[in-house]
Structure 1
C-alpha cells in the first residue's frame, strides 16, 4: 500500500530539497510532462544488470513516475556519475526483485504486486 499523499507533498517541498543539497542519495532528473520544467527527485536507485530499479513509495501514479514514463528518458546522478536512462516501464516487484543482491529489503508497504519503475542505461 502506497504512503499517504500528504507525506508526498511534505517530502517534495521540505525533505527532497535538503536531500539534494546533501548530495548523498541518488537523484533522478526528469522533465515535467506538462510544464517542460526540469525536476530533481532524490530516490533509492537499485542497480540491475542493464539499468536501475526505482521503488515509487507513493505509488506508480506519482508525478515523477508519470513524468519519466511520458518523456521516455531521465538522468540519474549516482556516486558522482551521470547516467542516462531510457525505456521506462512499470514492472511488478515479483518480476524483478530476484535480480537485486540477496538480502535487499523492500520498503514497508511494498508487496510482490507493487509496481516499480525499471529503466535501462542508455548506450553512450
Structure 2
C-alpha cells in the first residue's frame, strides 16, 4: 500500500474538504459520488480520474481496500464530476499492474511507479438516455 493508512483521517478532515470544491473544476482532479453501502448516505470523494475508451480509470493510491471503492463495487455505479461535467459510471473493473497502468498517461505512470501504486479501477461511462423529446415515434 503506497500511501500509509494513518494519512486517511487527515485527508478526510482537511485535504478532501479543501480539494473537493476545486476538484470538480480542475482535471485530472474529480469528485466521485457514491452511496454508503451500510448507511445509504451520499458520499463524495476527491480522486484523480483519467479518460479511457470505456470511461475513466482511477489509480488506487491507498490500495483497493478503501471505503469509496467498496461502495462503488457494491452499487456497481457512481457519478463523476470533472471539469464541471457529470458522468454516470457503471461496471467497475479492478485492474492490477500493467493492465491498469497502460490506461494512464505516461507522466502519471512514472509518478505511480515511484509510489509503487499497482492497483486501479476502470469504470465505464453509462449509456446516455435520450431526452424526452428525442425519442423516435412509431
Q: Following TM superposition, by how much is the alpha carbon of 1:97 offset from its aligned partner in structure 2, in angstroms?
A: 2.5
Aligned counterpart, 2:119: 115
| Length-normalised TM-score, structure 2 | 0.80
Larger radius of gyration: 2
Q: Which runs of 5+ in 2 are unaligned?
A: 129-138
Residue-by-residue CA offset, 1:67-115 (whole Å, 9 max, x unaligned): 10011000000111000000012111311322344444342121xxx22
Q: Which runs of 5+ in 1 are unaligned?
A: none
Contact 1:30–1:64 (CA under 8 A) maintained in structure 2 = yes
| Length-normalised TM-score, structure 1 | 0.89
Which one of 74, 78, 91 corresponds to residue 74 of structure 1? Answer: 78
Residue-by-residue CA offset, 1:50-77 (whole Å, 9 max, x unaligned): 1111112111010011110011000000
Following TM superposition, the consecutive aligned residue runs of length 4 or more in structure 1 with deviations greater than 6 angstroms are none
Aligned counterpart, 2:7: 7
- Residue correspondences, number: 121
